[in-house]
Amino acid sequence: MLSCCQETESFHPTTSQDCTELMLNNSIVQYGPSTKDLPKIDVMLDLPHSDGYVPTYWPGQSISGQLNMKLPTAIKVTHLRVALFGNVQVHGDLPELPVSNGLFDYHQNQQLVNTGLRVIKKTTANQQDEQEEQTEDNRMECENEDIQQSSETSQNRFDTIPIYDSNDHTLILDNGRVGHQFDHTIKPKKSSEDRHIESLIKKIATAENFSNQCHGILINPEANGLRNSVSQNTYDLSANTHQIAFSIHIPTTRKLPGTFNHPNYPITYRVIAIMRCLRQTETGEQVDTVVYHTIRVRLEAVSDVNSGSLGSPIQLLPAYQCVRNNGSFKNRICTYFLSSSSVLTDWACKSLSYHQQYQNSERISRTKPCYSSYLQLCPNLPRQAFKRSQEIPLILILKNYAISHFKISTIQVFVQLVRRINMTCSVNEEVESIVLQSYTAIVHCSQQSATHSFFKDSSIHLDLSQITKVPNDCVCTTPPNVTKDIFEISYSLKVKLSVLGASFKQESSLRRNSISVSPAAEELYVAVSKQHIASYDEVHPTVGSIEGHKQKCYDIYVKPIPIMIGNVD
């Protein structure tokens, strides 16, 4: 019969307990007077830990702390381990349910890292020489002698041996005795006990997915092959409070993803202390007991924003929007089809680019045909990767190639930072797309008159670097190879421009307004807040009254701009 006692600090205690009951097949009992005679272990990290703060670590650092064992009665320890466990999961509202956000149902639980230390009794040099001359049973018996009862002495009487990472079988921490050499090239051979403890650690971490920290006791755990195996590092502990210092090195042999707190796609890391022991009841019966304590930690992934080609400018394609001409019937028919058909629009974009190159090379100044009456939006981003809280120097260049019959008065800029999750374990299906932040700016023309205000320049530069920033709490871009090809986390910028202006009859507008338009005329506007853009040029030339114009609005969409979010440079 398997029973469990728990004491949790969690985000969703009921959900966590239900998951434990499902996975470990036991009834849950809270700590209380009935459990006062049961052993208990606590992990105390050197960094502060509370409900509102989770300690943060980086690969290559060490997670240091102290393990406190409160033993109401004497026990025989068969296995004591402190491990760093990380996993990536995909599940529904409960960990045992699949997620159904797309075409397929997904349910994944992949281990990322399971490495740490096994705590054994520390032997003296004389005891070590004696052990070499004794049999296996006598060696175990020798290890069980002379354990002091005081917490201060017991701290000095323990030693830690490294546990190999179960993924890549590399040595994580060299805390062995002086003179002992480890062969990093030899794959460690795991006993049935090691495999069983690793399985328990994974089950505990999955069951306590929503908990900040949790205590638990499993009485008489089911382990058919484990009962016949006797550990050579078994030792006795008397009833007392024992303190053991530990330090777990975070591996750098393989890139690990950062912590991702998500209800359906979490990436979590925990320090788990687990002890398997034999304790004696009042009736004299020895009961096999597993005691554990888990505590959540945060891991930051090392993501360099200057690696590779991330620091170079991105090659971005311009976006086009055809503008209707109020001129001849032929022009109106052509622009109508070019604006309403996606197939023709693609063809028109190619024609526009060729036409523009031809005009620039030949410097021809003449009235553009119907397919050259358009608005062009060119996004410019000098680099692809950014750190948290860093400004995104996005510049938009709007060119009006229909200025002879369409004049711009107001420009609205909409920029969204979008985070996407794609399931790379299947068909790269997008299962989530959320807007993290939205940025809005309104461009008012500074060239105002008593009745109208229009941009006189055919090229308008919009600098959005002061309003577009990466949020502080963004998780780094996560490629699929670091999540064991389960999913990837990517970011992109969605840009939309709403151009409001007035349409005129071409001949009358040119005749009534002797405004010379230079193809090279440009003006720079800088966004200084989320709702206003100020102009560098505050000159307000007089523009005559124009009659018979018609207000029009055109929306221009830019293809999503992929960006990377990192944390080091």
Residue 113 CA to residue 87 CA, distance in Å, equals: 7
Which of 320-324, 352-356, 367-371 has the weakest average pLDDT? 367-371
The pLDDT value recorded for residue 251 is 92
The pLDDT value recorded for residue 173 is 31
Q: Is the pLDDT of residue 319 over 80?
A: yes
Phi and psi for 153 in degrees, rounded to 5? -70, -40
**Contact yes or no for 536/476 (Cβ under 8 A):** no
The pLDDT value recorded for residue 20 is 38
**Contact yes or no for 489/421 (Cβ under 8 A):** yes
The helix (run of H) or strand (run of E) holding residue 117 is strand 108-121
Q: Is 38 left (phi over 0), alpha (psi -120 to 50) or beta?
A: beta
Residue 151 CA to residue 242 CA, distance in Å, equals: 4
**Contact yes or no for 151/241 (Cβ under 8 A):** yes
Confidence of residue 102 (pLDDT cuts 50, 70, 90): confident
pLDDT digits (tens, 9 = 90+) for 224-243: 444 555 566 788 888 999 99
The pLDDT value recorded for residue 141 is 38
Residue 96 CA to residue 90 CA, distance in Å, equals: 10
Portion of the chain with pLDDT greater than 90, in percent: 31
Phi and psi for 309 in degrees, rounded to 5? -100, 15
Burial tier of 79 (Cβ tally within 10 Å: 0-12, 13-18, 19+):
buried
Confidence of residue 466 (pLDDT cuts 50, 70, 90): confident
Q: Could you tell me the two tokens for 462?
A: 């919009």
Q: Which residue would you say has higher pLDDT here, 52 or 88?
A: 88
**Contact yes or no for 144/234 (Cβ under 8 A):** yes
The pLDDT value recorded for residue 82 is 94
The helix (run of H) or strand (run of E) holding residue 329 is helix 329-340
The pLDDT value recorded for residue 222 is 56
Q: Could you tell me the two tokens for 246?
A: 């530990």
DSSP secondary structure code for residue 482 in this structure: G
* Pure H helices in 183-230: 192-207
DSSP secondary structure code for residue 313 in this structure: P
Q: Which residue would you say has higher pLDDT here, 515 or 454?
A: 454
Q: Is the pLDDT of residue 322 over 80?
A: yes
Which of 232-236, 326-330, 461-465 tops mean pLDDT?
461-465
Q: Is the pLDDT of residue 444 over 60?
A: yes
**Contact yes or no for 270/294 (Cβ under 8 A):** yes
Between the CA atoms of 500, 502, 506 and 507, what dihedral angle is there, to the nearest 10 degrees? -160
**Contact yes or no for 295/8 (Cβ under 8 A):** no
Beta-sheet strands, E only, within 257-373: 267-280, 286-299, 319-322
The pLDDT value recorded for residue 346 is 52
pLDDT digits (tens, 9 = 90+) for 20-36: 333 444 433 444 555 67
Say how many residues make up the chain: 569
* CB neighbour list of residue 499: distance below 8 Å, 6 or more residues apart: 321, 375, 398, 408, 410, 411, 553, 554, 555, 556
Q: Which residue would you say has higher pLDDT here, 498 or 547?
A: 498
Mean pLDDT over residues 378-391, rounded?
Answer: 92
Residue type, 139: R
The pLDDT value recorded for residue 522 is 59
> Closest by alpha carbon to 319, among 394, 377, 380?
377
Beta-sheet strands, E only, within 170-266: 211-219, 235-237, 241-249
Beta-sheet strands, E only, within 348-468: 374-380, 385-387, 395-400, 406-423, 429-444, 459-463
Residue 413 CA to residue 500 CA, distance in Å, equals: 11
The pLDDT value recorded for residue 205 is 87
Q: Residue 64's Cα: distance from chain center in Å?
A: 25
Phi and psi for 472 in degrees, rounded to 5? -70, -30
Which of 44-53, 174-183, 498-507, 550-559 has the weakest average pLDDT? 174-183
The helix (run of H) or strand (run of E) holding residue 13 is helix 13-24
The pLDDT value recorded for residue 327 is 54
* CB neighbour list of residue 464: distance below 8 Å, 6 or more residues apart: 392, 394, 395, 396, 413, 415, 439, 441, 527
Residue 204 CA to residue 345 CA, distance in Å, equals: 57
Q: Which residue would you say has higher pLDDT here, 34 or 473?
A: 473
**Contact yes or no for 255/302 (Cβ under 8 A):** yes
pLDDT digits (tens, 9 = 90+) for 248-264: 999 998 899 999 999 99
Read off the pTM: 0.74
Q: What is the mean pLDDT of the chain?
A: 73
Q: Is the pLDDT of residue 348 over 60?
A: no
The pLDDT value recorded for residue 297 is 95
Give span(s): CATH 2.60.40, the chain: 379-566
CATH code of 379-566, in short, is: 2.60.40
The pLDDT value recorded for residue 123 is 60
pLDDT digits (tens, 9 = 90+) for 492-541: 999 999 998 887 765 444 444 433 444 445 567 777 655 445 444 433 33
Confidence of residue 4 (pLDDT cuts 50, 70, 90): very low
Confidence of residue 148 (pLDDT cuts 50, 70, 90): very low
DSSP secondary structure code for residue 333 in this structure: H
